[in-house]
Amino acid sequence: MLSMEEVSKSYPHRGQAVKALGGATIHIPAGDFVSIVGPSGSGKSTLLLMLGGMLSPTAGRVLLKSESIYDLQSAGRARLRRENIGFVFQTFNLVPYLTAQENVQVPMFLAGMEGEAQAERSAALLERVGLGDRLDHKPAELSVGQQQRVALARMLANDPAVILADEPTGNLDPETASQVIGFFEEFNQEGRTIVMVTHDPRAAARARRTLRLVEGRIVDESHGNNALHIA
């Protein structure tokens, strides 16, 4: 489903090349749920962005469904992301002047979905995350946890096969964080592949397996029924 082959990423800094990720080879099969942990600056978000087709590697290949993401032109990468990947971020990235329903409709609008279908699907998705009575509320009128649930509904808008989540519980209290991870567990049980960066050990423990990064290198993994292969 999602793979990296000897992927490295370096950034120039004051005339020096700083390595953010070094020689990562991983395979994440369809239907897996992987948490990525490690200290700040270890390369977790860099890895996630490269898996999502948003940050090109310095070396190596990233593949989604056997298609090499960074061998595509920018329009091709955008298509691949739009058709296959849903993103969830710690900061939610909601449009402040749009209602909850309008925020969820944004990806559908960009995909060319007809207006009435947008309204029906967005309402159903918000109902699913417990916000059926908040369709007309703008982000500032919602709690932090409710804003994250709007972001979850928006992420589901185009029915992605892959969910990439960067610190999805980072701004949430423990009870709300647990609810959000519960939604991820539901999405995974439906067959979606999930890769989640997190500092929260309780969230990480609820994934099927955990991948640990230190200084840009994969140093450890947990083991489960569906192997995550690391070279």
- Give the SS3 label for residue 211: strand
Residue 103 has pLDDT above 60, yes or no: yes
| pLDDT value for 1 | 82
Contact 42, 215 (CB under 8 A): yes
Domains of the chain are 30-54+74-222 (3.40.50.300)
The structure tokens listed for 184 are 């991820």
> Per-residue pLDDT tens for 136-161?
999 999 999 999 999 999 999 999 99
Which sign does the torsion angle of CA 168, 174, 179, 183 carry?
positive
> Per-residue pLDDT tens for 5-61?
999 898 887 878 788 888 888 899 999 999 999 888 788 889 999 999 999 999 999
Contact residues for 92 (Cβ-Cβ < 8 A; gap 6+): 139, 147, 148, 150, 151
- Give the SS3 label for residue 204: helix
Q: Is 208 exposed, middle or buried (0-12, 13-18, 19+ CB in 10 A)?
A: middle
Whole-number Å distance between alpha carbons of 122 and 56: 32
> Per-residue pLDDT tens for 170-216?
888 999 999 999 999 999 999 999 999 999 999 999 999 999 988 77
